């Protein structure tokens, strides 16, 4: 079955990398358009948002694979799917209205924290089994 194999986290990883590419291109185009109008505060906000996306994806991928390797591939895929949906919705709502609360960002950080905690727990269990 797809959700019990390593193809599920692999598909989530590819979707996350695709999302990183799309969000990078979208925010880069928006920043370039803002630079021609000399709106520095909005440009800095967009660059900060782009940096947050990069850091989030860089922290997400190892957490996903550590969780999948040592605890559960289905749990890793489900948490990765939650992270991906929250990240995409956060970027969409940020694009529509940058001054609103960012619930998608908080949910994606909680999913990321869950992946890291689960991965550490799986590493600890694996260490205890082989000890």
> What is the distance between the alpha carbons of residues 16 and 19, in angstroms, rounded to a whole number?
5
Write down the domain spans for the chain: 2-130
111-129 in b/e form (b: 16+ CB < 10 A) is bbebbbebbeebeeeeeee
CATH, domain 2-130, list 1.20.120.550, 2.60.40.420, 2.60.40.10, 3.40.50.920: 1.20.120.550
18: tokens are 């695709």
15 Cβ partners below 8 Å, 6+ apart?
84
What confidence tens digit (pLDDT) does each residue in 10-39 have? Answer: 888 888 888 888 887 777 777 777 666 666
* pLDDT at residue 54 in the model: 84
What confidence tens digit (pLDDT) does each residue in 42-92 have? Answer: 777 777 777 788 888 889 999 999 999 888 899 999 999 999 999 999 888
């Amino acid at each position: 079955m797809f959700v019990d194999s390593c193809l599920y986290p692999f598909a989530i990883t590819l979707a996350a990398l695709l999302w990183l590419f799309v969000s990078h291109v979208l925010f880069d185009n928006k920043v370039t358009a803002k630079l021609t109008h000399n709106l520095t505060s909005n440009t800095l906000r967009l660059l900060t948002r782009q940096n947050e996306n990069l850091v989030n994806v860089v922290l997400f991928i190892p957490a996903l694979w550590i969780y999948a390797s040592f605890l559960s591939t289905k749990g890793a895929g489900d948490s990765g799917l939650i992270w991906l949906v929250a990240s995409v919705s956060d970027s969409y709502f940020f694009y529509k209205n940058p001054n609103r609360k960012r619930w998608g960002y908080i949910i994606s950080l909680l999913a990321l924290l869950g992946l890291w905690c689960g991965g550490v727990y799986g590493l600890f269990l694996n260490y205890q089994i082989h000890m």
